[in-house]
């Protein structure tokens, strides 16, 4: 693997990967979650129901440069993972792994970077700022000046502004400070406490937004922590392991697991500060997610924060050097398959069975079909009661066909209400997934009648179907529904 040790070759490979990711980011269909975050970017705030504000800020910056396109929404993602790769390389060297290129290669071979490098979700800025915090801490462990605590505090604060799981970053660093002798001296240094204060000050706007919105976001995310269903623990734990085998890709996952076990041994037996930091930022989050699996399902992307520390730990063991080639080959092969499926679904898995069709397939065609049905029925607007569907239609449909949403979450947004443009008695088209067995909420509407079904998919493989209802505006509509911004031109 010596040919990978050249900084020039690594830089060229990283540049090539970044170009590929930029191309795929511009070509792959926008996912419903990304369209939802685009709506966030049109309603700037310090918080939202689901997450803090950072992803909206990144999307706003990208679309300011490249317009409200998929490329504009995602453009910062490939550069974020490229910068993260460089920081991981340096952090690995400073933490004594000695094989920074191996750590960076392993991270780039995961779907965490493969998919995360083309998508724009809260995970994208979270991972960059998590890695940046780890990098600043690596400099402290390596004997750097105490002022690196300031940088660690800034990056940790920005991570908190990205996603609430960044709280585990502060918890891990705190654990390192308390349990290892190398950390004790920093407890007496005001600069470490100043770093914590900076992180909390950067997070303060999110706290204030929650305080002003009945703690909606904290309650939504924090409400998951109290669940306990041990009877389903085996199922949830199995899903957790399978999800990580997919996210990290199988060989990388095994190497990361072995590396963290080795780091834990060094931290326990030798009180090694570098190994202790990797344990605190790798194993601690893993234990939290394992505990969560005893009460509820852990989404595959949640444990992503484990892998920056895990790939550094993996780079420090001899096993990795023997398996680096197959690990990278398998990881990039899986990533290429995912890219191809996301763009065109060439492998005929099926509709609902294929997550790329279920999440990405046929949105443009569905939007066009909805537009045609609106014209045929003289509908003045499109109504929805599901945020992903509504965000996709809002991003794709023209301004002349407003999309209005009947969902309490939108009342937390600074978006205009449609009562100014929609009058009682006007006709609209309500679009609703067939997965929901109940009838739509009738309160906003004076009348509602089912008129058909539309499918969404690729090449005849249907990922999801939607019922269409003809509705007329009732007197309560203005207080219950919210107009979403439109991404298309009139």
Domain boundaries, the chain: 2-344, 359-484
| 3-class SS shares of the chain: helix, strand, coil, % to 5 | 65, 10, 25
Q: Is the pLDDT of residue 418 over 70?
A: no
Which region among 196-205, 273-282, 436-445 has the lowest average model confidence (pLDDT)? Answer: 436-445
pLDDT of residue 490: 38
Q: Residue 429, SS3?
A: strand
Q: Is the pLDDT of residue 173 over 90?
A: yes
Task: Note whether 107 and 123 are within 8 A (CB).
Answer: no
Query: CA-CA distance, 416 to 410, in Å (whole number)?
Result: 10
CA 45-398-468 angle, to 5 degrees, is 95
Q: State the average pLDDT over residues 370-374.
A: 96
Q: How confident is the model at residue 489 (pLDDT cuts 50, 70, 90)?
A: very low
pLDDT digits (tens, 9 = 90+) for 314-369: 999 999 989 999 999 999 999 999 999 999 888 877 666 788 888 999 999 999 99
Return the DSSP state at 249: -
pLDDT of residue 350: 66
Q: Give the list of residues 6+ apart from residue 204 with CB closer than 8 angstroms, or none.
A: none
pLDDT digits (tens, 9 = 90+) for 247-299: 999 999 999 999 999 999 999 999 999 999 999 999 999 999 999 888 888 99
Single out the residue of 171, 122, 298, 121 nearest to residue 225, CA to CA: 298
Count of C-beta atoms within a 10 Å radius of residue 447 = 13
Report the percent of the chain where pLDDT is more than 70.
Answer: 95
pLDDT of residue 331: 95
Single out the residue of 433, 434, 453, 450 nearest to residue 442, CA to CA: 450
b/e for 197-209, b at 16 or more Cβ within 10 A?
ebbeebbeebbeb
pLDDT of residue 351: 60
Task: Note whether 354 and 345 are within 8 A (CB).
Answer: yes
Task: Note whether 402 and 382 are within 8 A (CB).
Answer: yes
Which region among 189-193, 285-289, 423-427 has the lowest average model confidence (pLDDT)? Answer: 423-427
Sheet containing strand 461-473, edge to edge, reads 445-458, 461-473, 427-433, 382-384, 403-405, 482-484
pLDDT digits (tens, 9 = 90+) for 32-64: 999 999 999 999 999 999 999 999 999 999 999
Count of C-beta atoms within a 10 Å radius of residue 34 = 24
């Amino acid at each position: 693997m010596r040919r990978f040790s050249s900084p020039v070759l690594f830089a060229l490979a990283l540049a090539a990967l970044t170009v590929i990711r930029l191309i795929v980011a511009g070509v792959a269909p926008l996912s419903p979650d990304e369209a939802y975050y685009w709506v966030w970017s049109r309603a700037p705030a310090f918080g939202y129901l689901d997450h803090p504000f950072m992803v909206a800020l990144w999307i706003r910056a990208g679309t300011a440069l490249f317009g409200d396109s998929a490329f504009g929404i995602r453009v910062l993602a490939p550069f974020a993972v490229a910068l993260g790769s460089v920081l991981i390389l340096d952090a690995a060297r400073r933490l004594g792994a000695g094989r920074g290129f191996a750590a960076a290669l392993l991270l780039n071979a995961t779907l965490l970077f493969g998919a995360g490098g083309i998508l724009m979700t809260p995970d994208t800025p979270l991972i960059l700022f998590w890695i940046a915090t780890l990098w600043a801490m690596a400099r402290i462990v390596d004997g750097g000046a105490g002022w690196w605590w300031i940088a660690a505090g800034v990056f940790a604060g920005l991570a908190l502004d990205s996603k609430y799981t960044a709280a585990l970053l502060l918890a891990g660093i705190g654990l390192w400070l308390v349990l290892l002798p190398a950390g004790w001296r920093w407890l007496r240094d005001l600069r470490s406490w100043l770093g914590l204060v900076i992180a909390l000050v950067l997070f303060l706007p999110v706290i204030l937004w929650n305080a002003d919105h009945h703690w909606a976001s904290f309650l939504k995310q924090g409400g998951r922590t109290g669940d306990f269903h041990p009877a389903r623990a085996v199922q949830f734990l199995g899903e957790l392991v399978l999800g990580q085998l997919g996210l990290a890709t199988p060989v990388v996952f095994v190497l990361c697991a072995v590396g963290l076990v080795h780091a834990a041994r060094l931290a326990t037996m030798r009180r090694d500060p570098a190994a202790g930091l990797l344990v605190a930022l790798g194993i601690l989050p893993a234990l939290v997610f394992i505990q969560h699996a005893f009460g509820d399902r852990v989404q595959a992307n949640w444990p992503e924060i484990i892998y920056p520390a895990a790939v550094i730990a993996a780079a420090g063991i001899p096993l990795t050097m023997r398996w680096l080639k197959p690990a990278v080959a398998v990881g990039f092969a899986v990533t290429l398959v995912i890219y191809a499926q996301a763009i065109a679904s060439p492998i005929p898995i099926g509709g609902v069975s294929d997550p790329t069709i279920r999440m990405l397939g046929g949105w443009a065609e569905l939007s066009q079909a909805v537009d045609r049905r609106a014209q045929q029925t003289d509908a003045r607007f499109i109504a929805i009661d599901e945020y992903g569907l509504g965000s996709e239609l809002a991003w794709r449909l023209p301004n002349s066909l407003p999309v209005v949403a009947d969902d309490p979450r939108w009342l937390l947004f600074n978006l205009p209400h449609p009562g100014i443009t929609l009058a009682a008695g006007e006709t609209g088209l309500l679009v609703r997934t067939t997965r929901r067995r109940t009838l739509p909420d009738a309160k906003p509407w004076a009348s509602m009648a089912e008129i058909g079904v539309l499918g969404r998919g690729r090449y005849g493989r249907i990922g999801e179907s939607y019922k269409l209802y003809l509705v007329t505006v009732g007197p309560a509509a203005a207080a219950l529904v919210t107009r979403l911004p439109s991404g298309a031109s009139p």
